[in-house]
Chain A
Amino acid sequence: MSWDKEKTLKYIKKKHKVSEEKVEETREFMKIRKAIAKALSSGPKTIPQIAEIMGLPLADVTYNVMTCRKYGYIEETGEVSDDDYYYYELKGRK
């Protein structure tokens, strides 16, 4: 039962306030995750190729691609491009 499963959350909600900034950062990450998934929906890509589609700085894309990799959303294909980049593809986890 969901009320039973969330019983202690109610307790902390009374005394701990969540900042709007944290919620915003979480929304932002979810957007980035979806954008990476979209970029990869047409097939495996390297990080510079994903960054070009997303229009975000390379280092930010690397961080987010590696984080999505860690959480099992994407994985490397094992192929390496001529200019020495790994290709990443969707792994099935939504």
Chain B
Amino acid sequence: MFHLEYDVLVIGGGIAGQETALNLADMGFKVIMIEKEPSIGGKMILLSKVFPTLDCASCIATPKMSETMRHENIEVLSYSEVTSIERIDKKFKVKILKKPKYVREDLCTGCQECEANCPVNVEDQFNFGLVGRRAVYIPFSTAIPKTAVIDIENCILCGVCERVCPANAIDFTQEPECYTLKVKAVVLATGFNLFPARRKPQYGFGKFPNVMDAMEMDRLLSPTRPYNAVVRPLDGKIPENIAYVLCTGSRDVSVGNPICSQICCMYSIKQAQLLMGALPLADITIYYIDIRAFGKGFEEFYQQAKDMGVQFVKGKVAKIEEIKETGNLIVRYEDMEGSGGVKEAEHDLVVLSVGMLANTGITSIFKYEDLELDEYNYVKQADALLSPAKTNLKGVFAAGTATGPKDIPDSILSAGAASAEVAAYIRSLK
């Protein structure tokens, strides 16, 4: 049930937001979680398997998502945004906008009858445009809440969904709803943005169909894979010779992102191993500047990929060109070992290992005070060593990749720190 007062507002329902909310809820705090998408889950629920254990991502993420949704101390508002936060004495006044789904969440059973009959087709954002989706849709099969949403901008108001819905859940009378509530503490768990590969035009992403980014490849490898196989986006051909370009948009001053994204080396090695399983005959080459395998089990994971036959080429990729007749790609790179010089190699699919960028979406919601960001636009940690979750604003904390690049284990650790710091803060208010 929806209340007007909570202990903690968690913004963002990715793995870091869920972990923070669950920790706090288990301690007895009342939590409200605001997620802008129609489902919680963040990036992790869209992944295939996770490094270095190769556990299935959705097998870990889905139970946590349902626990978050069902916990008696957590209220989840999906498809919602925080529009302002104002400090009043020791509390915060929070304004929330809940966008209309045009589907009654209390009635929808997730049967997808509406989706099967809707005539519209638009790019499916949860499959990064590799396939289409309807104007009425359930974001993905593991979505939580598993209820439909109508994308009104693309709906042609044909009325079919309302006619076929067996639960009478379609409701075009819904309007945006605004709520005002009070909380004692705020946790920013708004995650990261993917580096848009189009910002490296020399790599041809968006121009050459067989140049894809790593998030698309993770989708192709996941259990809910959009092609039901690993095939090329150009023509559905099973690839034989796949290249990875590490550090696409990371450690790169030319795109204004000089820092390491900390995940790309390892997720590329993960994907290479999964590809060797899915396509035993394929050659996989990883072009790298250096491999950063710093975490527990990472070096062994890297060695395992080498033993499986993944080729590692120390080389900086300068340009990718397409061979028109075949859709294959010529990768031109500066050889950083061996004989050196500029070299070329032909591949039939190229994956760009895109990095992380800060998500600056919530920085302007604080009224009469400014949230400080670091030089790369991530939420600045006021005391990174001793209280890693504290921001410059008292009572406002951050978890996960909102403060900088992290993998899933580190995001979960940071959520643990955030929950402990929030609990101590709230207790200190008494």
Contacts and interface: CB of A to CB of B under 8 A. Distances in A.
Interface residues of A, number: 39
Specify the main secondary structure of chain B where it touches its partner: loop
Nearest to A46: B236
A76 B236 CA distance: 11
A86 B235 CA distance: 10
Contacts, number: 102
Contacts of A72: 116
Contacts of B276: none
Contact of A85 (B116, B154, B170, B238): B238
Given A22-B156, A26-B156, A59-B209, A84 B238 contact: yes
B121 A67 contact: yes
B430 to A, nearest CB: 48
Interface stretch (B183-191, B223-231, B360-368, B387-395): B223-231
B277 interface: no
Contacts of B344: none
B289 interface: no
A74 to B, nearest CB: 11
A66 interface: yes
A22 B154 contact: yes
Interface residues of B, number: 35
B288 interface: no
B379 to A, nearest CB: 37
Nearest to A88: B236
A80 B119 CA distance: 31
Contacts of A12: 102, 152, 157, 172-173
B237 interface: yes
A8 B171 contact: yes
A62 to B, nearest CB: 5
Contact of A48 (B156, B157, B235): B235
B159 interface: yes
B120 interface: yes
A5 B116 contact: no
Contacts of A76: 228-229
A6 B236 contact: no
A64 B152 CA distance: 22
Nearest to B115: A71
B90 interface: no
Interface in B375-416: none
A64 B121 CA distance: 10
Contacts of B121: 25-26, 29, 67
Contact of A9 (B172, B232, B236): B172
B157 A16 contact: yes
Of listed A48, A70, A72, A76, residue having the most chain B CB within 10 A? A70
A29 B131 CA distance: 13
A86 B120 CA distance: 27
Contact of A8 (B131, B170, B238): B170
Interface of B: 102, 116, 119-121, 130-132, 152, 154-157, 159, 162-163, 170-173, 209, 226-229, 231-238, 240, 327
17 contacts: A9-B162, A18-B157, A22-B120, A23-B156, A29-B119, A47-B235, A58-B209, A62-B232, A63-B132, A66-B130, A66-B236, A69-B227, A69-B228, A70-B226, A71-B116, A72-B116, A83-B237
Interface of A: 2, 5-9, 11-13, 16, 18, 22-23, 25-26, 29-30, 46-48, 51, 58-59, 62-67, 69-72, 76, 80, 83-86
